[in-house]
Structures are given as C-alpha cells and as structure tokens.
Chain A
Amino acid sequence: MKKLIFVGLLSLYQIALAQQNKNCTLAYSWSPGMSYSMIGLDDIQHAGPFLNLQVIYIRDPLLKSFGALADSQQLLYQQSADFTANEIQEGYANHFPGYFLVNQTTKKRDLLRLGYTSFDHVITLLKEKGCVL
C-alpha cells in the first residue's frame, strides 16, 4: 500500500514538473570510447525521467571503429550521423560528453558544456538558459 502511495505521489510530482517545464530539450553527445561520457549517460538516463526532461542523444560519429570494444559497448557497425556536418566542422565531436540546449524554433543545438559535469550542474546550466525544471 505504501508503495502505491509513493508511486502515486511520484506521478503527481512528475506531472507537476512537466507542467512547469518550458519544453527545454537537452542534447547529449556521448561515445563508448570516453568513460566520462558513459557516466554522464548513466546520470541522465537515471535522473532525467524524474524531471521529465526531454533528451536527444548524439552519438560519436566514429562509431564504426569500435570493433575492439566489449560486446556491451558495441553499436551499429556504421558511422553515426547524429552530429550535423556543421557541428563536426566546429569541433563539437572532438570531445565527449557534450551538453547542448536545443533551440525550439531553429532546432539548432547550442553548446552548454563540453566534458563531464554533474547532473545537478547540468540542471543549473539549463535554468540559467531559462528552462524551468
């Protein structure tokens, strides 16, 4: 019974948060070749849903070169095209992870941070950009 009450309250909390969220979307770039980006992936996948945060995942464009990694880290044996040509040219794919705020109008991804940072700090960065979370 206590469990049911907890789940119910959690759902209400999530609905309340969703109503407050100004539809900010976080884009997160990651690579199985970079350990901190895997840690950041864990952070977002575990904590993100509680904030009803919409996340777009951007994968390493070199992914086809991962033949030597463990099976659990293998991805499709083809290059990822998640980064745009412009983003690659600007150098955003030279570091993992990267945190970006997706512009709702232009869909352009504005860089918030390169390199791992705590999920709390990601939330702070989003709030500084006007996202209500």
Chain B
Amino acid sequence: MKKFLPLFILSASFISLSAIANEAITDSRIQIKSVHPANGRPQYFFKASSDFKYLGINSGRSRREENLAWIFDTSDNKTYPLKTTGLVDPVFIPHTQLMVISSDKASPYNMMFFDLENQAPDDFIKIEPFYVDIESNGLYQSVAVLEQKKDQIEVRVIFQASNFFKKDYTLTRKNNLWTAAVKKDVQPACSNYLFSMGFISREGAYIIGSDLTNLTSAIYRLQDDGACEKVTDFSYITGKGSFSYDSRYVAFHLLSDKVWDGSGFIPTPSGGVVGNIYVYDRDTSRTLPITKYTEGATLYPDFLADGTLVYVFYDADGTVRYVRLDVSDYIK
C-alpha cells in the first residue's frame, strides 16, 4: 500500500491542479506553476518576494491585539510570525528578502526595515528591524529599487498620509548586516492629483492608484520633482495594482457579477459576485482576463521577478490557496 502512496499523492495533486486550471484559467497558454494551501492565517492582501520564497501577509487582527505580521514560506507552506509594531501590509523590496512594514502605532515606530535573508523562518519572531524611520508617518507603502549594487541599494518608498509622499533611502550591507540612511527626504508624490491606494512600479517610474476626482483607477508617471503625469485612465477602480518587473504590465483583481467566457462577459451562474484577475498591457492598451472563476474569488495578483504571477484564491468551499501562474506566452 505504502508503495502506491506517492503515486496517489501525485495524482491527487494533479487532479487538484487540473481542476483549478480547467475551471479558472482563460487561455491554454497560461500554465500553473504551483499551488500552495494557505495554512494558518490567510488574509486578502499579501505581497511576494521577487523569488517567491516568501509571501508577506497582514496580521488580520485589530490594533488592540497582537503586533505581528506573518510570513508564508512557499517551500513548506507554513506561516511564521514576525514581530512588528505594525499589523499590516508587509512588502518586500524588489530583488531582495528585505521588507518594509509601516506602523499604525504612534511615533516613534513608523517605517520599519527588516532583513529576512540568512534567517531561519522559526527565528523570524526574534528579528528586530535593522532600521526604523521615525520621521515617516504613513501607510500603504510600496517600494521601488532605483539602483542596485552588490552591497548597496537605493530604494524609493511611497506611502499614503493625507496624500502620497515619497522618500529615498540608501541601504548598505556590511559583514552581512544591513543598515539604512535617508538619501532624499520626504517629498509629495503626485501632489497634482488626488488618489489613494497608490503602488509604485519596481524601478520607481510609475504609480497606479485610484483617482478620487474621476473615480477611476489611473497610471501616473512620477517625475523627479514629485509631480505626476497621468498616462493611463481606466474606466473603473481596480484592485491594488502590481507592476511587472519591466513595468509593461499591471495585474489587478476586479469584483463583478460577470465572468469572461472566452468571447465576452456573461453573468455568473449563481448571479453572485466573484473576484477575477486581469492584466493590463501598457504597450498595447489591452486588458487581458487571466482567470474566470464563477465562484469564490481570486485576489491581489503580484508579479514576480521571472514574470510569473501569484494570487490568492478563496474557493467557495472556504479553502484558501496561493496560485502561481506562468502567463508570459499569453500576455506577450
């Protein structure tokens, strides 16, 4: 019997992958790379490290409770706690396993920088931030890498307060220890526009946000002086956007009672609302449907450095999985 167990597990995995693919993927050129059960503490929003080793997950609790973020390790599908003074939106610095977490607590704990490199996940709970910026006070932060050398990275963090702000840092590694210093102090970002939920592209040139004047989502080009030029206007508000590493594509989710059927959008069988993933191509101005779930929800897609895409899938039966897709043949 034991002899057949691996085969059974393999075929069970295959059935699971096939079922997800058949039900949900819009085009045969999209390949499922892996599926990970979200054990522990699934939340809607997460962000992946560039190499997909880790996913940063919100605490999911109120500020009156514990001060933890969670790190999902895709190699063992386990979730490990990280002690912070902020509960939410742990994001990775592109091409690294360094994280930036904003605090929802009062000063002096604000933008915190953590180093997960060379750390065992069981020890994450003991990690102290290698830098805490007590001057920055905001949330919904996202990070771009402006320049990267072997032991030095210039990063730009944008974050939301009354409006959006940007701040540049120099991170330096010496004897395997990271330190940080402010390179360019805080400045308004896109102060000529009013938007929320802004996310910066990996190299720092673009921001996607929800335009609060026109009530649509838009892509802005961020200029050196902090002003922005709107370059793309959607006709609806998208979920939080994630730029591909070359900034050509933006992935996002949309909730709707309609679903793509291969040629157009039709009502869901139940009439209920579902969440599905889309990719906008900045070069062709086309929006491509990636998933076509008719129940449950796929949310918060995030591009990885190799061009694959990961999202969280809430199945109608209550199970939650992270799914990684290779969409390159479909969207190119």
A38 B255 Cβ-Cβ under 8 A: no
CB of A92 closer than 8 Å to a CB of B: yes
In the bound complex, CA of A66 to CA of B296 (Å): 9
B318 A67 Cβ-Cβ under 8 A: yes
B273 A114 Cβ-Cβ under 8 A: no
CB of A93 closer than 8 Å to a CB of B: yes
Stretch from B5-13, B40-48, B224-232 forming part of the interface with A: B40-48
A88 B237 Cβ-Cβ under 8 A: no
A92 B314 Cβ-Cβ under 8 A: no
- With contacts A33-B44, A35-B60, A88-B255 taken as known, whether A66 is within 8 angstroms of B210 at the C-beta atoms is no
Residue in A38, A42, A65, A94 whose beta carbon sits within 8 Å of that of B253 in the complex: A94
Inside 8 A of B237's CB, which chain A residues have their CB?
Answer: 90-92, 94-95, 114
Residue in A42, A61, A62, A64 whose beta carbon sits within 8 Å of that of B63 in the complex: A42
Q: How far is the CB of A7 from chain B (nearest CB, A)?
A: 24
- With contacts A65-B296, A68-B38 taken as known, whether A115 is within 8 angstroms of B196 at the C-beta atoms is yes
B63 A65 Cβ-Cβ under 8 A: no
CB of B297 closer than 8 Å to a CB of A: yes
Interface majority SS (helix, strand, loop, mixed), chain B: loop
CB of B275 closer than 8 Å to a CB of A: yes
Inside 8 A of A85's CB, which chain B residues have their CB?
Answer: 257
In the bound complex, CA of A38 to CA of B43 (Å): 12
User: Whose C-beta in chain B lies nearest to the C-beta of A92?
Assistant: B237
CB of B240 closer than 8 Å to a CB of A: yes
Interface residues of A in 63-105 (CB under 8 A from B): 64-69, 73, 79, 85, 88-96
CB of A119 closer than 8 Å to a CB of B: no
CB of A111 closer than 8 Å to a CB of B: yes
> In which size bucket is the chain A interface?
35 or more
> In which size bucket is the chain B interface?
35 or more
In the bound complex, CA of A65 to CA of B252 (Å): 19
Inside 8 A of A79's CB, which chain B residues have their CB?
Answer: 272-273
Q: How far is the CB of A97 from chain B (nearest CB, A)?
A: 11
In the bound complex, CA of A79 to CA of B171 (Å): 46
In the bound complex, CA of A68 to CA of B63 (Å): 21
Q: How far is the CB of A92 from chain B (nearest CB, A)?
A: 6
A94 B62 Cβ-Cβ under 8 A: no
B316 A64 Cβ-Cβ under 8 A: yes
Inside 8 A of B240's CB, which chain A residues have their CB?
Answer: 95
In the bound complex, CA of A117 to CA of B160 (Å): 9
Inside 8 A of A93's CB, which chain B residues have their CB?
Answer: 255, 273
CB of B58 closer than 8 Å to a CB of A: yes
User: Whose C-beta in chain B lies nearest to the C-beta of A41?
Assistant: B62
- With contacts A79-B272, A94-B255, A113-B212 taken as known, whether A35 is within 8 angstroms of B236 at the C-beta atoms is no
User: Whose C-beta in chain A lies nearest to the C-beta of B69?
Assistant: A35
Residue in A35, A67, A95, A113 whose beta carbon sits within 8 Å of that of B87 in the complex: A35
A114 B239 Cβ-Cβ under 8 A: no
A39 B255 Cβ-Cβ under 8 A: no
In the bound complex, CA of A88 to CA of B275 (Å): 11
In the bound complex, CA of A42 to CA of B104 (Å): 13
User: Whose C-beta in chain B lies nearest to the C-beta of A111?
Assistant: B215
In the bound complex, CA of A39 to CA of B67 (Å): 13
Q: List 23 A-B contacts (CB under 8 A).
A: A32-B60, A35-B45, A35-B61, A38-B61, A39-B87, A62-B275, A62-B314, A64-B272, A65-B297, A65-B316, A65-B318, A68-B320, A69-B42, A73-B60, A88-B257, A90-B237, A91-B255, A93-B273, A94-B237, A94-B252, A95-B240, A114-B237, A115-B140
Task: Sort A-B residue pairs by CB-CB distance and give the 5 closest, nearest first.
Answer: A67-B318, A91-B237, A33-B44, A65-B314, A91-B236
Given contacts A38-B62, A42-B64, 17 further A-B contacts (CB under 8 A): A42-B63, A62-B297, A65-B296, A65-B316, A73-B60, A88-B255, A90-B215, A91-B236, A91-B237, A93-B273, A94-B238, A95-B196, A114-B212, A115-B140, A115-B210, A116-B139, A116-B140
Interface residues of A (CB under 8 A from B): 31-36, 38-39, 42, 61-62, 64-69, 73, 79, 85, 88-96, 111, 113-116, 121
